Structure 1
Amino acid sequence: MPRELITLQVGQCGNQIGRQFWQLALEEHAQHSRRAVFDESMSSFFRNVDARASPPMDLPFNAGRSAIRSLKARAILVDMEQGPVAETMAGPLGELFDQQQLLTDVSGSGNNWAHGHCVYGPKYDEQLQDKLHQAVELCDSLQSFFVMHSMGGGTGSGLGTYILGLLEDQYPDVYRFATVVFPSEDDDVVTSPYNSMLALRELTEHADCVLPIENEALMEMCAKIDRGTASAALSGFGSEESAARVVDDSRLTDGVDLRQLENAFGEMNNIVARLLTNLTSSMRFEGSLNVDLNEITTNLVPFPKLHFLLSSMSPVFATADPRQQPRRLNQMFSEAFQRDHQLIRANPRASVYLACGLLMRGNVEVSDINANIQRLQSEVRMIHWNQEGFKVGVCSVPPVGQKSSLLCLSNNCCIRETFERLHTRFHKLYSRRAHMHHYTEFMDVGMLDEAQENARYLIGEYAKLESASDATQPTITRSTRRLQPLY
């Protein structure tokens, strides 16, 4: 049975990451299915439609034997400026998206969470519900929503988190995943700490699983290219022209000189896109140990609200150079637990793991995976009540341009360092009540106090778990989820 996933790309960041994501998704399915048949794996992300009808009419699935006519992504594109969505629709992927599933305004949110959340949210609530209802009605077995947005801007952080709450209200039984990009500490949006702190509270309350990403961590990874320690080539492209076509105008945030760093931001977007395609590979392709997204939350989120997962990959970059030797399995496992492979600035080996998910792609033996897990159990610190807290998935179809890869998702107490850095930046502004008048125009000042208290709560709970001894039980006990066995 098809298991569909609906993506919601919100704001400039969300739409530009989404552009890379859909490019990679198309390449993966083109590599996997060369018969131009609309099979079950494609139905997770796409609809097969007759584009001659208005609106496009879905064609019968026919047990995965129908010929591909015209693909439409299961996606809703949202931005309160027209530019990013217009760029997508005018580009080579434009026909992939349904015109009825676009929502734009012209004035933007002014880098103000309150404007995006408290003004545009209620203003477009009914239209958002209609678009969601239409997307859900076209699914046979909807598994999850995937929301992509930034934390530092106005539309992504504000309207993006409003949509997350709307999803919880309208579809409480469908899992809500959020991939969010934290701004750099030198971000030129001076109010980004306010936006990020307010968005963090909404993510804590309304998401089932959050995959935080930091711009600075991505920049450090991309800097390896310039130092010659990683390949700058992106996989799946036969020429510089085709690579440039995808990289062109692909950026994460607008906090830097985009003209000078266009290629770097294209590579950063590519890293995030690979995270998403690897995460969803098991629900799209066959494998010996497939893992659905609901199993991620069941196994890796033992306590409510502590659902922020570190992401790391090996290899980080795919390469088109056939001379490069593929990584050994042992090397991939080691790299996935290293600091410089994390998508946030953190060192998980120096902290405590609550649970860990290992999602392999390619032709990999389960016995080899078990051997590496046994090695890791002696090298990393697992919480005392979950010493064997590894969840393993194996998808047989490798990523484009690779023979195998490893995605590691870990619920690790070191995530509090990200929240501590954000809280410090927030406090510098809030202690002086700087720029508050921009926010109190649209919201009550108490929401900032609640957001600050939420961050302190998260920091405190992760710190308690970090320091818990074998004889001390964690302080969070309500709604504890039972972790599933390894297989």
Structure 2
Amino acid sequence: MTQSIVVQVGQCGNQIGCRFWDLALREHAAVNKKGIYDEALCSFFRNVDTRTEIVRPDVQRGKICSLKARAVLIDMEEGVVNEILQGPLRDLFDSKQLITDVSGSGNNWAVGHKLYGSRYREQIVENVRRTAEQCDCLQCFFVIHSMGGGTGSGLGTYVLNVLEDEFPEVYRFVTSVYPSAEDDVITSPYNSVLAMKELTEHADCVLPIENQSLVDIVNKIVQMMTNSGKLGSVKPNSLLISNKGGGKENEKPFDAMNNIVANLLLNLTSSARFEGQLNMDLNEITMNLVPFPHLHYLTSSLTPLYTLADVNIPTRRLDQMFSDAFNKDHQLIRADPKHNLYLACALMVRGNVHISDLRRNIERLKPSLPFVSWNQEGWKTGMCSVPPVGHSHSLLALANNTCVKPTFMDLRDRFNRLYRKKAHLHHYLQVDGMEQGCFSEALTSLSSLIEEYDQLDATKGLYMPNPPRLNIAV
């Protein structure tokens, strides 16, 4: 059985991670009613007790008796981590898994990457290595961070470099939350573009998430809940509105958005945590969805939406779930993949779904989805038998699609508007090791990435027996 380690960096990364651990425990408790430490729990948890049996995680009170998360929590402001340690998930972590400071990174990538990176490198390596040594077969690191602030973007990408240096054979999956155009952090375009260079060079797979898309999905779910009839009924302990997410009892504005990202991670890791008739190994995602090394940004969508809200709604037709996965309203970035070019696509199904249902829907949808000419059969499928708690089925679609290009172009435009005026540049340049060349290198890296997507878009609708001359991953 393989294991994975979650590395949570910054306020956003730790809040999302907190939700992930809470919801993962609920799933395991629903399946593993006797509380036996089994292979499913082993994938993301370790048992610190020498006994065979452990006390079942109490979902209502959130008490954990013998389990420790395979995680490292990093933040240069200790508020969120302290809140986790005072909440119902406090026993899931020990002090050796935590790295905190008190001053924060001041929304400055350079402070997080250059200053705190070098200051805490030894401690980061020690904590990660200790956690890795507690794994029998380490397969993957999941890094969770945001792009707009200083710690998430700067220290988050520094940690990514450390993981590549120290564990070059272990896959690095990154969940990156991108700021919206109306972000209140004025330097977020700088931080995001500087971080993008590191993600492009050092990650194996990146799942970009846009704040605005999360807001839109939450609003859609709220609208579903407030409509007349059964749609207004929400189950107890809803995954969307539950305030038992591992922190204090007061719900915060971002909790619903964080739950969506946590559900993405639950679906992504379901095959590693539970049995299925067609389980998809995590390394198969990179092997099958990333034909070019730099083009490893995968768009994601979740269906049905009400799975995220635990809304009492009659089960919709299974085929509709597959159709929704390719609808722009279900994407976790503002994009329309059906009107852009697919390099490859993965469908990860959970619950009561048959292989025949999967194949039928792929054949039904294929004519409407433009794939590159040299990968017309670029589908990867996975089926996990355990559905989300309280539901019969769900679907996560991962697409390597050129629809990510407008997001990157918009980010570049916002960066240029600041950089042309040299606005706030002095805050970065006063950090040791930070030079103005770092900005131009990051901008060049992002422009080169956009150009690679442009080359692929130019092939849309053309018959090309050979792929374009890009660097092919091996």
Same fold (TM > 0.5): yes
Whether 1:167 aligns to 2:163 is yes
Residue number among 213, 218, 222 corresponding to 1:217 in the alignment: 213
Cα 1:387–1:194 shift into 2, 3 Å: same
Cα 1:90–1:118 shift into 2, 3 Å: same
Please give the alpha-carbon distance, in whole angstroms, between the structure 2 residues aligned to 1:322 and 1:184. 28
Please give the alpha-carbon distance, in whole angstroms, between the structure 2 residues aligned to 1:196 and 1:183. 8
Name the SS for the 1:377 alignment partner.
helix
Q: Show CA shifts across 1:208-258 (max 9, x none).
A: 000000000000111113433686887671899x923338669xxxxxxxx
Name the SS for the 2:307 alignment partner.
coil
Whether 1:146 aligns to 2:137 is no
**Residues 371-390 of structure 1: pairs in structure 2 closer than 5 A:** 371-390=360-379
Please give the alpha-carbon distance, in whole angstroms, between the structure 2 residues aligned to 1:130 and 1:306. 31
What is the aligned partner in structure 2 of residue 44 from structure 1?
43
Q: Show CA shifts across 1:313-335 (max 9, x none).
A: 10134267674112322011000
Q: Show CA shifts across 1:114-158 (max 9, x none).
A: 000000000000001100110010000001000000000000000
Please give the alpha-carbon distance, in whole angstroms, between the structure 2 residues aligned to 1:239 and 1:430. 41
Number of aligned residue pairs: give it. 457
Please say if residues 345 and 399 of structure 2, whose CA atoms lie closer than 8 Å, have aligned partners that are also in contact: yes
Please give the alpha-carbon distance, in whole angstroms, between the structure 1 residues aligned to 2:134 and 2:239. 37
Name the SS for the 2:48 alignment partner.
strand
2:473 counterpart letter in structure 1: T
What is the aligned partner in structure 1 of residue 293 from structure 2?
304
What is the aligned partner in structure 1 of residue 245 from structure 2?
246
1:294 counterpart letter in structure 2: N
State the shift of 1:178 in Å: 0.4
What is the aligned partner in structure 1 of residue 449 from structure 2?
458
Please give the alpha-carbon distance, in whole angstroms, between the structure 1 residues aligned to 2:255 and 2:214. 11
Please say if residues 339 and 348 of structure 1, whose CA atoms lie closer than 8 Å, have aligned partners that are also in contact: yes
Please give the alpha-carbon distance, in whole angstroms, between the structure 2 residues aligned to 1:234 and 1:14. 27
Q: Show CA shifts across 1:423-469 (max 9, x none).
A: 01000000111110011112011011011011111111111111112
**Residues 347-386 of structure 1: pairs in structure 2 closer than 5 A:** 347-386=336-375
Cα 1:85–1:26 shift into 2, 3 Å: same
Cα 1:427–1:82 shift into 2, 3 Å: same
2:428 counterpart letter in structure 1: Y
Task: Give the TM-score, by structure 2 length.
Answer: 0.92
**Residues 69-218 of structure 1: pairs in structure 2 closer than 5 A:** 70-218=66-214
1:451 counterpart letter in structure 2: A
**Residues 393-408 of structure 1: pairs in structure 2 closer than 5 A:** 393-408=382-397
Task: Give the TM-score, by structure 1 length.
Answer: 0.90
1:121 counterpart letter in structure 2: G
Cα 1:396–1:131 shift into 2, 3 Å: same
Please give the alpha-carbon distance, in whole angstroms, between the structure 2 residues aligned to 1:199 and 1:320. 32
Please give the alpha-carbon distance, in whole angstroms, between the structure 1 residues aligned to 2:198 and 2:238. 42
Q: Show CA shifts across 1:84-109 (max 9, x none).
A: 10011101111111211100001100
**Residues 217-236 of structure 1: pairs in structure 2 closer than 5 A:** 217-228=213-224
2:464 counterpart letter in structure 1: A
Please say if residues 31 and 400 of structure 1, whose CA atoms lie closer than 8 Å, have aligned partners that are also in contact: yes
What is the aligned partner in structure 2 of residue 282 from structure 1?
271
State the shift of 1:470 in Å: 1.4
Please say if residues 87 and 246 of structure 2, whose CA atoms lie closer than 8 Å, have aligned partners that are also in contact: no
Q: Show CA shifts across 1:322-357 (max 9, x none).
A: 741123220110000000000000000110000000
RMSD: 2.1
1:110 counterpart letter in structure 2: G
What is the aligned partner in structure 2 of residue 53 from structure 1?
none
Cα 1:458–1:273 shift into 2, 3 Å: same
1:444 counterpart letter in structure 2: E
Residue number among 284, 290, 309 corresponding to 1:295 in the alignment: 284
State the shift of 1:401 in Å: 2.1
2:19 counterpart letter in structure 1: Q
Cα 1:30–1:378 shift into 2, 3 Å: same
Name the SS for the 1:401 alignment partner.
coil
Structure 1 stretches of at least 4 aligned residues deviating more than 2 Å after TM superposition: 65-69, 225-236, 242-250, 316-323, 471-481
What is the aligned partner in structure 1 of residue 237 from structure 2?
237
**Gap runs ≥5 in structure 2:** 56-64
1:339 counterpart letter in structure 2: K
State the shift of 1:67 in Å: 3.7
Cα 1:319–1:401 shift into 2, 3 Å: farther
Cα 1:141–1:247 shift into 2, 3 Å: closer
